[in-house]
Amino acid sequence: MIKKIIPEFILKYFTEGNELSIKVKKNAVALLVLKGITLAISFIRVPIVLDYVTNTEYGIWLTLTSILSWLVIMDVGIGRGLQNKLAEALAVKDYKSAKTYVSTTYAIMTLIIGAAFVLFTIVFPFLNWGSIFNTPHELQSQMPLVVFVIFLSFAIQFVINLISIILTADQKPAIGEIVGTLASIVYLVILLILIKTTKGSLLLLTVTYYGSSILIYVFGTVYFFRGRYKAIAPSFKYIDLKHFRDLGTLGFKFFFIQISAIIMFSTDNMIITQIIGPQDVTAYNISYKYMCIPIMIFSIITRPLWSAYTNAWARKDIDWIKNTVSQLTKIWLLLIFSCVLMVFISAPVYRIWLHGRVTIPLYLTIVMGLYTIILAWNQIYVFFINGVGKIKLQLYMSFITTIINIPLSIYFAKTLNIGSTGIMIATCVCLFIGSVWVPIQYKKIINNKATGIWGK
């Protein structure tokens, strides 16, 4: 019956190849569909939110939510450490070790966020949040409560989002994406209700956004640990802080790399807010959302590969790795074409999408396209490097880009007076540094010629 409905070439694509390739293909297609739904919802959401709050309020909200991603570094890389260690344990069906890693990670993460939350509540009353976010006078009274809600939401998500890492380690990231898609749908529905029943409010927007996500992720965590992952569900009895060293050795390296990524990708909104003004954050983020569609699709394809590379490397399946990287390079060439096309049609797309509410400069869209192309090139090799845990060089290079990124952003934006476009140019410069060394390290590792820092 299925063969009559689905074309033969599609069935052939999903049934031919080794087990690892089939898993990656199925996850990639499922992720593509789910991310497509989530992306469509996010695009629909922008004009709705702009009808609910002003451009300035939306810019402040975008800045606040981007800061939440900064706080991810507080897991000191333990989440990424769990992903690699759990993938190894599940590959050999060592469920006892898997349960110990999961239980220990939940315990450590709870302790970390608990300590951070106590510290935050102590410092919180002494900071002028209105001044920090360059907030107009009429909005300053809302800021303390909005910031507190965001941090409280993060504290909860910090722990419950671990289920996504567990699913990814088990090479089932698409199932985890279902949870995120459901959260987006719930948020959109509640947002539509808010517009009809309440006056525009930054606080209500924040509560709705994070509340939807928390609700769905709590349900997902309970569902999976009572079902599919019952054998590795966290338990007090299996908490073993000795395993913190296993998780932490690799995790600490990922931690410092995460810091660099946060600085490079998440400080832009704050720099724009302070140097130019929160109103420009809106145009910057809308052009970013539009031009990052290709990298989002590319990331969907590469996302299942991290744990797949770990699996293949452990089994010494070098041919599979080489073939996968070759295929990704061909897809990258298609990505370049799509970015060029999107730049050409950007003006009418913005006009139809935003109904003239926000003006997006063409040169900002062009630089966003360049950013997408460079980032995708780096992803071809970085996911392999991360999967095999040879990240010491990446750690050092991340430190260098961390040092230069913010000063370079300020130089381009303020000194050269290029504005928010200059901030993205600075990010592109930092990313280009990685574009040079990541393919070199990949070739050295895959050909067993990685010595010194190249192989650590």
What DSSP string runs through 73-118?
A: GGGTTHHHHHHHHHHHHHHTT-HHHHHHHHHHHHHHHHHHHHHHHH
75 has pLDDT over 60: no
**Structural contact between residues 22 and 244, judged by C-beta atoms closer than 8 angstroms:** no
The neighbour count for residue 29, using CB atoms within 10 Å, is 16
- Whole-prediction pTM: 0.64
Query: Does the pLDDT value for residue 78 go beyond 60?
Result: yes
**Listed ranges 134-143, 174-183, 441-450; the one with the highest mean pLDDT:** 441-450
Residues 421, 427, 432, 433, CA torsion sign: positive
Residues 6+ apart with CB under 8 A from 254: 77, 80, 81, 386, 391
CA 429 – CA 433 distance, rounded (Å): 7
Q: Can you give the pLDDT at residue 201?
A: 80
Of 117-121, 128-132, 289-293, 412-416, the range with the lowest mean pLDDT is 128-132
404 — phi, psi (to 5°)?
Answer: -90, -20
Evaluate if residue 8 carries a pLDDT over 70.
no
Residue-level pLDDT at 378: 92
- Would residue 14 count as lying in a domain? no
Given a cut of 70, whether residue 252 has pLDDT beyond it is: no
Tell me the C-alpha to C-alpha distance, in Å, between residue 47 and each of 35, 44, 153, 286.
20, 7, 25, 10
For CA atoms 102, 105, 109, 110, give the dihedral sign: positive
The answer to the question of residue 10 being in a domain is no
Q: Is residue 6 part of a domain?
A: no
Question: Per-residue pLDDT tens for 95-142?
Answer: 888 888 888 888 888 888 888 889 888 988 888 877 777 777 777 777
Please count the other Cβ atoms lying within 10 Å of the Cβ belonging to residue 59.
25
1 in a domain, yes or no? no
The answer to whether position 330 is within a domain reads yes
The owner of tokens 């807010």 is 273
Question: Residue 24 falls within a domain, yes or no?
Answer: yes
Highest mean pLDDT among 45-49, 256-260, 307-311: 45-49
The domain containing residue 224 runs over which residues? Answer: 19-455
**How big is the chain by its Cα radius of gyration, in Å?**
22
In the prediction, which pLDDT does 68 show? 63
Helices and strands counted in the chain (H then E): 21, 0
Which residue bears the tokens 């990124």?
A: 405
> Are 263 and 402 contacting, i.e. CB atoms less than 8 angstroms apart?
yes
- CA 98 to the chain's CA centroid: 25
Domain contains 296: yes
Q: Please indicate, yes or no, if residue 13 is contained in any of the structural domains.
A: no
Using CA atoms of 262, 75, 172, 293 in order, give the dihedral in degrees to the nearest 10: -10
pLDDT digits (tens, 9 = 90+) for 31-69: 778 877 887 888 888 888 888 877 777 777 777 776 665
Q: Among residues of the chain, what percentage have pLDDT more than 70?
A: 87
Whether the Cβ atoms of residue 304 and residue 4 lie closer than 8 Å to each other: no
Instruction: Assign residue 37 a region (left: φ > 0; alpha: ψ between -120 and 50; beta: otherwise).
Output: alpha
Query: Does residue 60 contact residue 139 with C-beta atoms inside 8 Å?
Result: yes
Q: How confident is the model at residue 341 (pLDDT cuts 50, 70, 90)?
A: very high
Report pLDDT for 366: 93
Count Cβ atoms below 10 Å from residue 235 Cβ, excluding itself: 12
Own/partner pairs, 257-262, CB within 8 angstroms, 24+ separation: 257/77, 257/391, 257/394, 257/395, 257/398, 258/72, 258/73, 258/77, 258/80, 259/73, 259/398, 259/402, 260/398, 260/399, 260/401, 260/402, 261/398, 262/69, 262/70, 262/72, 262/73
- Answer whether 454's CB lies under 8 Å from 444's CB: yes
* Tokens, residue 438: 């990541």
The model's confidence at residue 174, banded by pLDDT at 50, 70 and 90, is confident
Which residue in the block uniquely carries the two structure tokens 């950013």? 371
- The tally of domains found in the chain comes to 1
Q: How does residue 9 score in pLDDT terms, banded at 50, 70 and 90? A: very low
DSSP tag of 198: S
User: Of 66-70, 148-152, 388-392, 431-435, which gets the smallest average pLDDT?
Assistant: 66-70
